Amino acid sequence: MLAVPRSWSDLTPSWATAALSTRYPGAVVSGVELGPVEDGTNRRARVTLSYSGGSGPPSVFVKSGGRLLHRLALVALRALGTEARLAASAETLRIEHPRLLGGGVDAARLATVVVMEDLATLGGSPNAATKALSVPEVRSGLSELASLHAAYWDRPLPSSLSFLRPWRLGRLLAPVSLASLSRGLRRLDELGQRNVLPVPATAGRLERQFRASARRAAGGPVTVLHGDPHPGNTYALAGGRTGFYDWQLVRVGNWSHDVGYFLVGSLGAEERRAHETGLLEGYLDALASHGVDPPDRTVALEAYRAAPAFGLATWLHTLAAGSFQPTDVCLATITRFAAAYDDLGTHRSPG
């Protein structure tokens, strides 16, 4: 694995050469030019490269750990170094995504680094987290997720991915989760947005449903999940194809976690109501086209109906934290999940 830089000044030509060595053997970096550093959930920057030998990409995207609070949250989710380990594995994922070129973890400092293809060089345009995707964009994304899921469907993981774990949200975290959801609901009140939630969406009910959703997400048939496929982690390519990046919460578990989270979180309420059944069936058909015996459609629909609880609780947690995502992103996403939570009868589940 890569050495984790202590500062951006440690991104030297020799370090960049090591970062590219697996995917671009023979490439020798002679110059590194750091672009503006963005500071959000993670710190990230585009890095322009020049070479004295071999060949490699003209630029890469480098992501390092963000604020301590954000890193501690990832520790609690057992996800601090997951994306970095995925990058270091050199595994080729069967889904449209920027290739992960190298990664490193420094557990003592709770520090990580990920080097990936620059989305701009792929011709990709990041989707805005506040804006719902179109039905064709969601259909494309579900097809990409089906390709990923089918590659690992209900079979042992390759040794390169043996570090991947299922979701785990045990009872010990329940009081913390309940307090966070209560803060999220209060924050909605302060913003004058509580009316976006159906009446039964109390903190206690959502907390029970949140943990129940995590148990379902960890169940079989087990496959590799993106884990966090909301619109802000997707991009558009020419021809209407949808790709996925930010693999920080990559997991193993049940297909319905990715599918429900992506479909509900990506469509406006009217579009979802009109197209969700057809989109779900399209995903199942895509699985079959990859040689997988897909879940029964009735079973799949029931799993999908349970999905909004996890997304709604997740984004209330995010709103409560205050620094993980901008408020407008949280509100837009909560509104989409809340509508589905009501429409699909998810609110009637006790957890």
Q: Which CATH class is domain 8-122?
A: alpha beta
User: Could you give the 3-state DSSP secondary structure of residue 99?
Assistant: coil
CA distance 96 to 244: 6
CB 101 within 8 A of CB 247: no
CA distance 122 to 83: 20
Buried residues in 230-246 as b, exposed as e (16+ CB within 10 A): bbbbbbbeeeebbbbbb
Q: Which is the CATH superfamily of the domain at 125-348? A: Aminoglycoside phosphotransferase (APH), C-terminal lobe (3.90.1200.10)
Q: What is the pLDDT along the chain (351 residues), one digit of tens a residue?
A: 999 999 999 999 999 999 999 999 999 999 999 999 987 778 899 999 999 999 999 999 999 987 777 788 777 777 789 999 999 998 999 999 999 999 999 999 999 999 999 998 999 999 999 999 999 999 999 999 999 999 999 999 999 999 999 987 767 778 989 999 999 999 999 999 999 998 888 999 999 999 888 888 888 899 999 999 999 999 999 999 999 999 999 999 999 999 999 999 999 999 999 999 999 999 999 999 999 999 999 999 999 999 999 999 999 999 998 878 999 999 999 999 999 999 999 987 655
Q: Is 67 exposed, middle or buried (0-12, 13-18, 19+ CB in 10 A)?
A: middle
Place of tokens 């307090």: 179
Q: Residue ranges of the domains in the chain? A: 8-122, 125-348
Residues paired with residue 65 on neighbouring β-strands, in sequence order: 42
CA distance 204 to 174: 10
CA distance 41 to 52: 34
